[in-house]
Amino acid sequence: MVCLCFFNRFESLISFQQVWWWFYVCIFTQIDFYIFIFLHRQCIASGLRDSGSNKLLYTLELYEPAWAYARKKYSHMPIRFILGGTVPREEYLTDDEIPDNEKTDHYNLYYQRDLKLAEQSEPWLKPLCMLHKFDAVLIDGNEYTGWAEYNVVKSVCKPKYLALHDVGTLKTHKIEAEIRHQTDIWREIKCGADAAKWCIFERIAPYQ
C-alpha cells in the first residue's frame, strides 16, 4: 500500500499519536514534515486533520476490497484513496530473487495473487510523484515491491522523510541497508515496533 500526503505549503509541526488501524500501529511524534507519502492511513490522516488545513494523504491500494473498506471507513479523513498499484508487474521481485527461506505461507498466499493483480492495474507511484511534491513516504506494501518502490521514491518522489514498516523483512531490508550505509544522506529520526519494526529517516543531503 502506498500513502501520499500533502501537508501545507509551509513547514509545519505535525504530532502523530499512537493509533491502531486494522492490525498496524505507527507512532509519529513531533516531527516537522512538509510533504508525505506512504504511511499508515489512520495515523497520518489523524495527524494531518488535527494539525490544520490544506493537508492531504494519498493512498495507493492494489486490492479492491481493502481499498473499498478504507474508503468507506475513513471517508471523513483528509485522504484520497487510489485503487491501483505502485510499480509495474515487471518490477516485482522475480521468483529467483526471492530467497528460499522467504517462500513461506505468505509467499504461497500472496505472490501469485499480487502478480495477477499487478497485471490488471495501473502503476501509480511514478506518475503521482511527477505530478506532486510529497513531504514523506511510507513504504508498507508488498513484500515483493519494496525495493522497486524505493527506487521510484528516491529518483522521482524525492521526499524529505522516508518511513519504512516491516523493517528487517524482505520488503525493506535492502532499502534499510542502503540508507544506513549512506550516513551523509539519510539520518534516522526514530525507530520503534508495533506488530513489526518501523523506522523514519530524514534526508539530510539534497537530491541530485
Which parts of this chain interact with ligand SAM (CB under 6 A)?
A: 1-2, 21, 24, 40-41, 60-63, 66, 85-86, 114, 118, 140-142, 145
Using the minimum distance from each CB to ligand SAM, give the nearer residue, 114 or 176.
114
The amino acid sitting at 73 is: K
- Minimum distance of ligand SAM from residue 44's CB (angstroms): 9
- Minimum distance of ligand SAM from residue 205's CB (angstroms): 27
- Minimum distance of ligand SAM from residue 30's CB (angstroms): 21
- Minimum distance of ligand SAM from residue 29's CB (angstroms): 18
CB-CB contact of 141 with 86 (8 Å): yes
Using the minimum distance from each CB to ligand SAM, give the nearer residue, 193 or 205.
193
- Minimum distance of ligand SAM from residue 147's CB (angstroms): 12
Using the minimum distance from each CB to ligand SAM, give the nearer residue, 11 or 64.
64
Number of CB atoms found within 10 A of residue 182's CB: 14
Using the minimum distance from each CB to ligand SAM, give the nearer residue, 140 or 176.
140
Using the minimum distance from each CB to ligand SAM, give the nearer residue, 62 or 167.
62
Bridge partners (DSSP) of residue 165 are 198
**Angstrom distance (rounded) from CA 196 to CA 115:** 24
The position carrying cell 501520499 is 4
102 is written with which cell numbers? 522467504
- Minimum distance of ligand SAM from residue 177's CB (angstroms): 20
- Sequence-distant (6+) residues with CB within 8 A of 103 are none
The three-point CA angle 36-26-56 to 5° equals 30
Residues in the chain: 208
The closest of 137, 169, 150, 164 to 26, measured between CA atoms, is 164
Using the minimum distance from each CB to ligand SAM, give the nearer residue, 1 or 31.
1
- Sequence-distant (6+) residues with CB within 8 A of 60 are 1, 2, 3, 4, 82, 84, 85, 86, 124, 125, 128, 141
